[in-house]
Amino acid sequence: MAPPGAPSSSPSSSSSSSSSASTATAGSGSGSATAPTQSRILKFVPWQSSVTADFWHGLANLKLDVLRLDRRPLQIQGFFAPCSHPRISKPLQLTYESLSLELGTESPASDRNRCPAPGTLYNTNTSDEFNSIDRDALMNEETAKVWDDICSGRAEEDSNLLNRFFVICYADLKEWRFKYWFSFPALQFTQAVKHTMFQPASDYFTAEESLRVVSACTAWRTSPLTTCLSFFLLHLSCDGVTVRPLSDWEKCQGSFQILLGFYDPSHLPTNPGWPVRNLLVLAAVRWGLKNVDILCWRELQGRTDLRHCFVTSATFEEFGGIVLPENTNAVPKAAGWEPSARSVDLSSLMNPDMLAKSAADLNLKLMKWRSLPSLNLLLLSKTKCLLLGAGTLGCEVALRLLAWGIRDITFVDYGKVGYSNPLRQPLYQIKDCGRSKVEAAQEALKTKCVDVRAQGHQISIPMAGHSVSGNQVEETFDNFTKLQTLIEEHDVIFLLTDTRESRWLPTILCAAAEQSKIVINAALGFDSFVVMRHGEGPFNSTQDGRLGCYFCTDVVAPTDSTVNRTLDQQCTVSRPALAPIAGALAVEMAVVVMHHPLGPAAPADQAVSVTTSIDQPMGILPHQIRGFLAHYAQLVVSGIAFDGCTACSPKIVSEFKARGFAFILEALNSPNYLEDVAGLTDLLHATNSMSLDWDGEGDSDLGVPDMA
């Protein structure tokens, strides 16, 4: 069948594989093949790369969450398939699944249209680093891998190793711009590979052979076991045509004809694609071939059609004079860089919500890189915060919580937005005046952060000393029940209302809650503030020296503080910067408590000099911070729970647990009742005067605000 004079492959005597190769009988088979013509240089069509947007998104997440500044090379996978269009070459593609090895996700299923190619991604941290990377050194390193795969025989077992590629990359995550440069290392012969023909496979094979070739190749392409093996042997014998893996080379010797086949990404009718280059080197080095016919396997819209496949006869020199196995360390030169680096700007492609979501956490994720590796963003994103009060403090606290990555924020407030509010309460605008505060506040948060889960409840918090008449009992009970449910449902409770007595019921409910709550209290005076955390409830506490609550310094029950007060005394009259300062400190304190292994049970740290270094990554965790704007000073103080406290003492909490709302109702209507239960009445009778010290200094000396 082979016409006399047709090119045939012949073994190289210098190869270690020559004994087996010498038994091979190879050559072109078509009766229509023309007589040999002058050989020409065989040029290969460079492989093209294509990267999907979701790959960059996956890489961005990987860098932000896992790699950070880590520069280790990443193991990635590219995907490719034979050319399937007469005018369009197939690129090697990177998709989100390309990162599955690094993301720890399930490996992507490979199939006939997604043959895997092993790749390495070299990620750089700055644009300068990208520009100055030693590309020659990288090329040598990657070429050595290909060479080793060939010399060791691994590439015959897993022929996709011949398709190794690598990418250098710089991801500018602030601007969503990515710079990258692909390389497909192909080992080079010292002299150019030549060929004498490049013709459609339908002309090369006889009609009978064509039928058998189509049948064998279709079987190879449809079997899940072989469809992803992109290099193969086309084995023609008297018994028929089979397609075999490269590792069957020895077994195929003695047959009538062997062609080397590969999935060809090129569409050009005159040139084969890039991947065949390493196959030719393998054939020269391992099998000692000097010429061979090659089947460039291409398809037409996924179907087998030999008119679109090509056969070429490649002739090449003995491989670089290298004799195996002695010189396996001498890695040949390689080519394969794409002509230039490329860049992609995804900022406009990204869904604005997605972009906003990614960008929202950018600063926090960057904090984890160097400044605060122990920052637990998952914990923050899952923590539910309840803000009692949506006024000056509530607005400030909500915004700072968002900035820390908290996404579950619930407001409780009964008020409406007033015309005096927008300037000092940053969640409101003039157009909101007259609306319910909780409704306007949650809407405002959603304009800041797309994935915030904000809620609002318009509830009037029952207040100690504000008596409840008979027709108000039902409504008060409703409000009590809603508040209790909300407190049980949240992890962190912020007390940010503008009167002292409105903090009393939430303090009891937190102290009596099933699970210990983190309770943060902030209160403003004119130019001073207190930010504190409450200790655990008396029956939840397992620590000695349970920390006190806001009411632990009182020797009287809270009363209606608005009676007999002028307007300036009833309203929050504070220097404008006080709420932002106190609100921000309240959030900082809450975040530190969340990260403390003991949570709300964490003991109070004492103040240390600013020149003393602090071991804790987020600094000390005080019980209380008292601020004095007139002095530009802050004090860190602490105090343990008071046994006669009207809000958190064991007597009060156990009475509440026993009587529930009936206890609350009685306390609202009769402040003396609380003092009786707490034992304050007896205490007052026993002593004429009493002062409780906070670390040795009385409240009055500190000018602590008693109402906001």
- Give residues in contact with Zn ion (CB under 5 A): 549, 551-552, 645, 647-648
User: Which has the closest alpha carbon to 360: 404, 395, 410?
Assistant: 404
CB of 533 to Zn ion, least distance (A): 12
**Cβ distance to Zn ion smaller for residue 213 or 647:** 647
Q: Which residue(s) pair with 454 in the sheet? A: 409
CB of 562 to Zn ion, least distance (A): 23
- Chain centroid, CA 91 distance in Å: 28
CB of 551 to Zn ion, least distance (A): 5
Q: Do 23 and 249 form a contact (C-beta atoms < 8 A)?
A: no
Count the neighbouring beta carbons within 10 Å of the beta carbon of residue 222. Answer: 11
CB of 648 to Zn ion, least distance (A): 3
**Cβ distance to Zn ion smaller for residue 265 or 639:** 639
SS (H, E, C) 30-61: CCCCCCCCCCEECCCECCCEEECHHHHHHHHH
**Cβ distance to Zn ion smaller for residue 399 or 549:** 549
Please tell me the distance from the alpha carbon of residue 612 to that of residue 615, in angstroms, as a whole number.
Answer: 10
| Largest interatomic CA distance in the chain | 127
Token pair belonging to 356: 């906003």
Q: Do 358 and 63 form a contact (C-beta atoms < 8 A)?
A: no
**Cβ distance to Zn ion smaller for residue 261 or 548:** 548
Please tell me the distance from the alpha carbon of residue 601 to that of residue 424, in angstroms, as a whole number.
Answer: 34
**DSSP 8-state secondary structure symbol assigned to residue 598:** T
Please tell me the distance from the alpha carbon of residue 387 to that of residue 22, in angstroms, as a whole number.
Answer: 84
CB of 429 to Zn ion, least distance (A): 38
**Cβ distance to Zn ion smaller for residue 427 or 519:** 519
**Cβ distance to Zn ion smaller for residue 493 or 552:** 552
Token pair belonging to 140: 């040598």
Distances from the Cα of 55 to the Cα of 103, 170, 362, 365, angstroms: 11, 14, 19, 20
Bond into 325 cis (ω within 30): yes
Q: Do 531 and 708 form a contact (C-beta atoms < 8 A)?
A: no
**Cβ distance to Zn ion smaller for residue 261 or 535:** 535
Q: Do 656 and 662 form a contact (C-beta atoms < 8 A)?
A: no
Residue 571 annotated to the active site: yes
**Cβ distance to Zn ion smaller for residue 397 or 674:** 674
CB of 539 to Zn ion, least distance (A): 14
CB of 647 to Zn ion, least distance (A): 5
Helix (H) or strand (E) segment spanning residue 262: strand 257-263
CB of 360 to Zn ion, least distance (A): 37
**Cβ distance to Zn ion smaller for residue 217 or 647:** 647
**Cβ distance to Zn ion smaller for residue 99 or 678:** 678
Please tell me the distance from the alpha carbon of residue 692 to that of residue 555, in angstroms, as a whole number.
Answer: 9
Catalytic residue among 217, 296, 571, 648: 571
Torsion of CA 444, 447, 453, 459, to 10 degrees: 10
CB of 626 to Zn ion, least distance (A): 17
Contacts of 313 (CB under 8 A, 6+ apart): 7, 28, 195, 196, 197, 291, 292, 293, 294
**Cβ distance to Zn ion smaller for residue 648 or 674:** 648
Distances from the Cα of 309 to the Cα of 205, 292, 706, angstroms: 11, 16, 88
Please tell me the distance from the alpha carbon of residue 564 to that of residue 369, in angstroms, as a whole number.
Answer: 55
Cα atoms in the Cβ-side hemisphere of radius 13 Å centred on 413: 28
Distances from the Cα of 306 to the Cα of 87, 309, 601, angstroms: 16, 5, 76
N-to-C CA span, the chain: 102
**Cβ distance to Zn ion smaller for residue 12 or 502:** 502
Count the neighbouring beta carbons within 10 Å of the beta carbon of residue 10. Answer: 17
CB of 642 to Zn ion, least distance (A): 6
For the four alpha carbons of 213, 278, 112 and 273, in that order, the dihedral sign comes to negative
**Cβ distance to Zn ion smaller for residue 56 or 551:** 551
Q: Which residue(s) pair with 85 in the sheet? A: 88
CB of 500 to Zn ion, least distance (A): 13
Q: Do 322 and 187 form a contact (C-beta atoms < 8 A)?
A: no
Count the neighbouring beta carbons within 10 Å of the beta carbon of residue 546. Answer: 22
Question: Quick check: helix, strand or coil at residue 233?
Answer: strand
User: Which has the closest alpha carbon to 162: 174, 150, 153, 171?
Assistant: 150
* Amino acid letter, 422: P
Q: Do 461 and 506 form a contact (C-beta atoms < 8 A)?
A: yes
Helix-then-strand count for the chain, H and E: 24, 27
CB of 654 to Zn ion, least distance (A): 14
**DSSP 8-state secondary structure symbol assigned to residue 606:** P
CB of 542 to Zn ion, least distance (A): 18
The catalytic residue positions are 571
